[in-house]
Amino acid sequence: MYVAKYLHRGAFYPRTTSLKFTRSRAHMSFSFTRSVTFASFFSSQCTHASSLTRSSLERRRSHRSSSSSNHKRIFIANASHPTEEKEKKTRKKIVVVGAGWGGWGAAKALLESNECEVILLDGLKDPTGKCGQKTASGKPFESGVRGFWKDYPNITHLCTNTLGLREDEVFTEFTRSSFFSPDGLEATAPVFSGADVMQLPSPLGQVFATFDNFKRLPLQDRATMVGLLYAVLDLNRNERVFEKYDRATAHELFTKCGLSERLVEEFLKPTLLVGLFKPPEELSAAVTMELLYYYALAHQDSFDVRWIKSKSIGELIIAPMAEMLMDKYELNVKGGCFAKSLHLDSEKNAIDKVTYFDTTSKREVVIDDVDGVVLALGAKGLKSVVSNSPELARNAPELTAAASLGAIDVVSVRLWLDKYVATDTPANVFSRFPALRGAGGTFFMLDQLQKDTENELWGGQETPKGSVVACDFYNSSAIATLSDEDIVKTLTKDLLPEAVEAFRDAGVVDFCVQRYPQAVSHFSPGSFTKRPPLQTSVPNVVCAGDWVRMGDREFGAKGLCQERAFVSGIEAGNALLLETLGPSRSEGKKHPVIPIRADETQVEIGRAVNATVLGNLEDSLLGPLFFPKDGAFNVFGLR
């Protein structure tokens, strides 16, 4: 059963960038204020929004008026109306820190309530996505290739319903993907929802769909994965059991479940290195099981994934959303601005001021009369803000705990080649190659994924010469110490041609290497209770991002996930509306959240039976999981 989630595309995104380019390569240092959620973009020049964005916005604007000047005149004429001025004064002033998926979700929820004035702070010069990242030679670059899985209902709804975009204009079709090792092709993941695949209950559907797709891993090793099915049922038996899973490592869980060493080393370990960006001995068993279930085991087609069809996520999705929120709701976006500190009114136990540093004016600015704050930050950014806010640190120990969590380095590379290389699948994983130096690695054939706009991959100013390959390394501390040239050499000599022979004859026309230190959340054993809660001890401060614990607002999307980050932002906005407006005024203002598909019947029954049988037994990890031994039953569990 092919249970891989190759790569999280919403995980590492720099908030500010210092660039120094020389001819065909980029030397960069990054200061992160948000390490989870939507991709950030930096650029030395701003390009026009895509024609897709413009045409979609035109369709959305058509109802407004036949003349933009009429619209402006109406707005100006009404601006000083006493009723409107009174309404503006009663609106709550909310500061959202971080323009990732979580930050944009929060801004959208707050603004669409028509009860809030929102100021969005981000270190990027243009966090709206309209300015795509460019190399020195004018070619596009995006920090990490991110996929959109089957169960991303809220992002899909944003695109098609809110922004009026067509799915086939924004996303590719669902694609197959491949898994390579030094021995060659290891496995291929099909499109599980394809017409040529029999649809069966999970996990039978995945088993039959991938039966012949593993090229080297023996069936007897794959069969040992059945032990994880019990962990799926047992994980959320109760809160105490979940915390015990969290304290255990994924490797310990795999051992206790009887998974073969070959299955772990040749398949699960490289899968986790590109899914949660660490090997199983450094990952929480609970988060690992959440990821495997959500992306592979919940439904036969849970692993089906598609990609952005042209340009970047910022240009195709974030830019039209940002323009809509600025145009319709007067969202105030402050790019190039880093949140420095939050001032706590100790008598009210509420934040009333936010100080930020404006990189353009080179001065600190204070936002007064703040009614609420959304912290859409990763561990590194959160640590910076909390360490400069002593009253907040003293009154919200959960934020200091979250700021203490570790993070993972990422390296992204883009290669422009002098020939086209044919691969069986556009999305691919490197497994067990010594040249990875302990990292997880992926490579994507952008000329296949974005074939309809290939000229744009070359900057639009030169004729395409060959394939364009995006490569990402996770847990990449060792790789990051190499020079740019040596990283490119590692790819072109030791990795790509060992996976696909045709790369051996390809030359590099241009390349770009970027390093992202401490960019991705590390879900280490025991980290769950330290992750930031959606609602904090300071009532008017909420958190957003895919690493946030959502409490009773918990959502089905798990792990490092764009959908989860976006929904956490929406729910953070909903929570802040209730806190700042009160129950009566916030009634009917809550932004809706579309749930993911329900668990299948066999899973629900299994969990109910497990909870009933084990209800009065000690909460040991895996409970009394029984395996035959010497004619009897062997009971085991991690205490």
Instruction: For 91-136, write each residue's pLDDT tens digit.
Output: 999 999 999 999 999 999 999 999 999 999 999 899 999 988 889 8
pLDDT in the model for residue 611: 87
pLDDT tens track for 516-564: 998 889 999 999 999 999 999 999 999 999 999 999 999 888 888 999 9
Q: Quote the Cα angle for 422-424-425, to 5°.
A: 105
Tens digit of pLDDT for each residue in 268-286?
A: 999 999 999 999 999 999 9
Q: Is the pLDDT of residue 8 over 50?
A: no
User: For residue range 194-206, what is the model confidence (pLDDT) as tens digits?
Assistant: 888 888 999 888 8
pLDDT at 425: 97
pLDDT of residue 85: 53
Cβ-proximal residues to 54 (8 Å cutoff; 6+ apart), any chain: none
What does pTM read for this prediction? 0.84
Residue 17 has pLDDT above 50, yes or no: no
- Angle of CA points 276, 481, 489, to nearest 5°: 90
Output DSSP code: residue 536. Answer: -
Q: What is the pLDDT of residue 622?
A: 56
What rounded mean pLDDT belongs to the chain? Answer: 85
pLDDT band (50, 70, 90) for residue 455: very high
What is residue 621's predicted lDDT score, i.e. its pLDDT?
Answer: 57
What integer pLDDT is reported at residue 88 of this predicted model?
59
Q: Rounded distance, CA 268 to CA 291, Å?
A: 12
Q: What is the pLDDT of residue 277?
A: 94
Q: What is the pLDDT of residues 291-316, one digit of tens each?
A: 999 998 999 999 999 999 999 999 99
Share of the chain above pLDDT 70, in %: 82
pLDDT at 27 over 60: no
pLDDT at 49: 36
User: With 90 as the cut, is the pLDDT of residue 47 above it?
Assistant: no
In the predicted structure, residue 452 carries a pLDDT above the cut 90: yes
Neighbours of 617 (CB within 10 A): 10
Distance, CA of 288 to CA of 246 (rounded, Å): 9
**What is the C-alpha separation between 546 and 566, in angstroms, rounded?**
8
In 3D, which of 470, 625, 567, 602 has the Cα closest to residue 140? 470
Q: Is 465 exposed, middle or buried (0-12, 13-18, 19+ CB in 10 A)?
A: middle
151/287 Cα distance (integer angstroms): 18
pLDDT tens digits, one per residue of 214-227: 999 999 999 999 98
Query: Domain map of the chain by residue range?
Result: 192-303+598-638
